Structure 1
């Protein structure tokens, strides 16, 4: 397959099923690994680090385990026993259902002056890199991996790598067979497939790949099957060893749709009853975030909103707004957590909510996924709008900052593009809201999910633990009709008298690139008056003959030719800047000098140091659908070369087609694969624990 996975997709997409990565995915995985080494802007890193440390301290201080109501036997029981044996058995690891400790103050965020200078990761010591390079050379591994290995393993990295060669799997882009070859070269006859170190490292690697694919944990049978496919002879023992070393955690969640078993002669809830459970294994990082999120959401759901604004004022605002906007205002008046769903047109309803709440004197803010979304929504809200990006809000670079208790200094927060919330970002949002504050999560459930692990918005919609308001505002015109049909699995032919939708059939990838350049440079500007810089090209992957690389090279040659003296870039180039995995900021190059590459991203000046350009900046005339989420453009050209058929799904098509405001051209080379994907290929399922954590377990207070 010639289309590589997107940055937000795993190179082993399907790790939950133990599948091998797609052919040609190694390059994409290596790129993802490089990006995984990058840091957010310094303020955002500091805010997230403080929050994660607080969560970790809280979990470490919790009391002993609480029984989940189910009895296990066999391997599952052994695994849970291994969890309780972590840290010598003195302190069980399964403390996930204890009460949360009181909120701790967080430091006041530092506000950064413009322009933003992208912070480079702290480089490991030269001696450590040299030690690692020597070990890599002995094992026949590329010396270029030395800085990444040293950064991943920390102090004493060389000795640690020599003692456990499979730690090479900690570096992004390295696969188990490559680590096996490295281990054989170092250990010789001592190396074997049943080595305990190999089993542990492969278990952690599979869980990391699953997280990239969106899972926060894997069911035990899925994980052991994946280990068997990787040639681990005793998968159960490998998982037990991983749990005993504290490299992963195991959980048991009750299955609500299964009947209780055992002695049912007594009353419901008798100790003789056994509730079937599922056993999951996950990385601590995501387990703590998901539990923290459940705690924070539970606190919001059960809290009483502040008495700000009289009931009459809320009723008057709701009546004035009318329709589903009025329903949203009424729901927010009485509840601290509300979900709102709808397409692009539905943004008018949270905009009406913000204006009404602001008129009542509330401190109200809205947060979007991208700067493009921020600009568009700010125009809808109108003068005095408080609209920021979510990353900027959480870091303190944008928004109201935090109060003395560490909570966001606001009364109402509306988070747009809610399907893009991964479990860690959502946990930061929930934990950052003071008691009595209101939270609205709004978004289109049909778009592609978050780049990071979790299915927060979808899980909350399915759990039905808070009010939900579905917009009744349809997206207008032929484009709205087309996208609405895709959302329900129908690819309809729509009447487009103004050529709002144009299909351009092509025979091969070369023709697809040629027609795309022609559309962006000539046809769309001539027919619709849309400048090339306002037309966005979207394609399924980065690699291949019609991926983002090939398209961007052709578009640069036509639209902004130049020598590319600074890392392949010239002033005027459109770019996609990724300050961290899963975040893409479209913009353009302003200049390059000794300080680095100067960018303008949605009006914000950014300076990327020379050493970070290759890892974090791409040309941006063509993006993937994941990179385009959160933005809309006057014209969009979606490129579907023949070899992209396997990458298509209903959410992908819905997302890509939905980025167009006025005109959509589809460069179509996948024939019947397009309607088949819309009708038959839904979103890939994600394994998460949030629904079980939101539902009170047997024996727990409701």
Structure 2
């Protein structure tokens, strides 16, 4: 696979933390990781800056809370010590030294105050030239690529050069740097003093492992998994490394009650409850706590009635599961809605009913393609993207208190909500507003940390309305079967589904190009621009890079004078991790690369093209989530077997409206993946945080 930093879990190298918390192999440091010092602020960056302001508002609110993060009940022993450690960190003091083991008698080596890594916001100000030059000099001294200077200066701040001199392992805070590379940098600066038992190394690797876990979707890791991963990274005393990281405020420790099946709840006040010990970064702990608080506020508050008779009339007119959805929303602040593409008619009916009652109702989708599709189902305005809504670039704006000016918000593509985005949304809703989270539970989860929609479905803290509208035709039948673990052979008289067997990578590329350029336009009537290729990863002989190169050569050959791109090229633009906007290149000039994405023009400065724009004739399934095309060609080469899972196949196959071609080179691995390989578990704390605030409902 590629050595670039993974954009999503599909692109992660083997070793990415999964259920066992194994360490991820981050991308290699290379000269290609350069970031220009002259970066300009684009519209997307301005949007992300607005989100950062909102995050800061939430942090100020959380800072006003007096108590620590609550979890568990009466505890004793190690668990009690861990709780004391958490509370000491939160109160600004040092935790007890006996969290994992007795502190050594020898004094601790002095270490600089760690610089915490802020949430990734590409619109951050460019570091001052002097700061960058200082960091560049230290990087050169340690033999690290000088092209990392801007990134490192941005992460480490004004004292970046001194921070790297005194603690070279701070380099691990730069995206893409791996422990063995930071070790080499440390040896070059510190000489023989840079050993695997260095306390600074243990702390830095602890934070790095938790960052890698977040890339795989975890908001925290179980202590045993983290300790095991530290051991595999050559940390001699993993428990002491975690203790040191807790002591310095780099990480937080939690103990969450474990509900054992069939076990009665503790009856006595002093009775111990089993707990699991988790370690996480403050960034995700804050977001998850904020999300739980916001959801509890919505569930426990009484929504504005705005005429119960009107709601009932609207529900009666809608009938079926659309009527059930309207009735549920009438009396509840939070409602979940599940279903496939056809079920979008039900949120559309809800939005229409709310508009008819004079309510300020809006819907938000994952991306502009989904926005356009849903807007076609509703009358009038009221549809935005989640990012546009939060930034203020789209939607109703905010009231005097900073809350979104809405009575009802319907969020589509809800499985794509990571914990930080979901926290921003819930905290942005005013008291008395209603929130509907709608989506297809069978698709891949969010690129960012958390599994918000799945956690809420499992927690059963609010009404859940399952659509009874199946997706029609052979494609709908095929996808419905995959959702329950069965790969059916469907009757497709109109060539809605075609299987194209291949023997090797070269044949897979050849047949894919043939399908897009000739076969699908001729036999199905869908032109090449209406067909999307989907493949498991970016690297390899049949990854997006190889397929895009082959498709560009046939569909839009050119010299690629602007960073490899030409006018007319199909592209995938990623303004932020987890967001992909399909579009086309319009032109290139001194301002940068001009793109048309979802009916809007985007200008990407020259220095940001390499890191945020790819060719887009072929995408990964994660990039394709939230979009649909008239035809899709899903490519499954022989080396794709490890990437296959039921959610991946479900997502890829369900991107087609009229026609699906499967370039099939994995033989029986495909039905086996559909039947046996479910979504990889993610460690999250949302259900535990919600439980004390919101009672579970029946049904």
**TM-score by shorter chain over 0.5:** yes
Which residue of the partner structure matches residue 26 of structure 1? 27
Match of 1:365 in 2: 362
- Do the aligned residues in 2 keep the contact of 1:39 with 1:119 (CA within 8 Å)? no
What's the CA shift string for 1:46-73, capped at 9, x where partnerless? Answer: 3322222223223333224467313132
> Alpha carbons of 1:664 and 1:433: their partners in 2 closer, same or farther (altered >3 Å)?
same
Residues 1:469 and 2:465 are matched in the alignment: yes
Q: Secondary structure at the match of 1:380?
A: coil
Residue 14 of structure 1: how far off its partner (Å)? 2.2
Give the deviation of 1:639 after TM superposition: 0.6
Match of 1:318 in 2: 315
The residue that corresponds to 1:130 in the other structure is: 133
In 2, distance between residues paired with 1:612 and 1:489? 41
Rounded Cα–Cα distance in structure 1 between residues aligned with 2:471 and 2:71? 49
Distance 1:40 1:426, change over 3 A: farther
Give distance in 2, aligned partners of 1:697 and 1:390. 26
What runs of 5+ residues in structure 1 fail to find an aligned partner? Answer: 94-117
Q: Structure 1 residue runs of 4+, over 6 Å off?
A: 2-5, 28-35, 37-40, 258-261
CA 1:679–1:291 in 2, change beyond 3 Å: closer, same or farther? same
Partner Cα separation in structure 2 for residue 512 and residue 243 of structure 1: 50
Residues 31 and 291 of structure 1: CA distance in aligned 2, closer, same or farther (over 3 Å) = farther
Alpha carbons of structure 1 residues 299 and 515: separation in structure 2 relative to 1, 3 Å: same
CA distance in 2, matches of 1:42, 1:404: 24
Shift of 1:77: 4.2
Which residue in the other structure is 2:572 paired with? 576
Structure 1, 51-60 or 313-322: larger mean CA deviation: 51-60
The equivalent residue for 1:647 is: 643
Distance 1:393 1:631, change over 3 A: same
1:216 to 213, 216, 219: 219
Q: Pairwise mapping of residues 232-631 of structure 1 onto structure 2 (< 5 A)?
A: 232-257=235-260, 269-308=267-306, 310-381=307-378, 383-631=379-627
2:5 corresponds to 1:8: no
Partner-residue secondary structure (3-state), 1:273: coil
2:245 is paired with a residue whose SS is helix
Distance 1:673 1:21 in 2: 25
For the Cα contact (< 8 Å) 2:71–2:254, is it kept in 1? Answer: no
Confirm or deny: 8 A CA contact 1:70 1:254 kept in the other structure: no
Cα separation, 1, equivalents of 2:622 and 2:32 = 16
Equivalent residue number for residue 102 of structure 2 = none
Output the CA distance in 2 between the equivalents of 1:32 and 1:457. Answer: 34
Out of 56, 71, 77, the position equivalent to 2:75 is 71
Secondary structure of 2:249's aligned partner:
coil
Deviation digits for residues 76-102 of structure 1, max 9, x if unmatched? 444433333337855989xxxxxxxxx
Cα separation, 2, equivalents of 1:491 and 1:512: 22
Q: 1:39 to 1:590 in 2, by over 3 A?
A: closer
Paired with 1:574 and 1:507, the residues of 2 have a C-alpha distance of 28
Q: Paired residue for 1:142? A: 145
CA-to-aligned-CA distance 1:11-46 (integer Å, 9 cap, x gap) = 442265343546xx73699999979x9998244333
Report the CA distance shift for 1:299/1:88 in structure 2 as closer, same or farther (over 3 A): closer
Instruction: Please report how far the alpha carbon of residue 130 of structure 1 lies from its aligned counterpart in structure 2 after TM superposition.
Output: 1.9
State the superposition RMSD in angstroms: 2.5
C-alpha deviation, 1:124, in angstroms: 1.7
Cα drift, residue 527 of structure 1: 1.0
Is contact 2:24-2:209 (8 Å) kept? no
- The answer for unaligned runs of 5 or more in structure 2 is 97-120
Alignment check: 8 A CA contact 1:2 1:545 kept: no
Q: Partners in 2 of 1:584 and 1:527 — Cα distance?
A: 30
Q: Does 1:165 align with 2:168?
A: yes
Inter-CA distance 91–394: structure 2 relative to 1 (3 Å threshold) = farther
Distance in 1 (alpha carbons) for counterparts of 2:5 and 2:496: 30
Maintained 8 Å contact 2:71/2:688: no
**Secondary structure at 2:633's aligned position in 1?**
strand
> 2:22 touches 2:228 (CA, 8 Å); kept in 1?
no
**CA offsets 1:230-281 (integer angstroms, 9 cap, x no match):** 11111111111111111111112112226889xx9xxx64332111111111
Task: Give the secondary-structure state (helix, strand or coil) at the position aligned to 2:376.
Answer: helix
2:653 paired residue number? 657
The answer to whether the Cα contact below 8 Å between 1:339 and 1:467 also exists between their aligned partners in 2 is: yes
Once the two structures are overlaid, the 10-residue window that deviates more, 313-322 or 558-567, is 313-322
- For residues 29 and 269 of structure 1, the distance between their equivalents in structure 2, rounded to whole angstroms, comes to 58
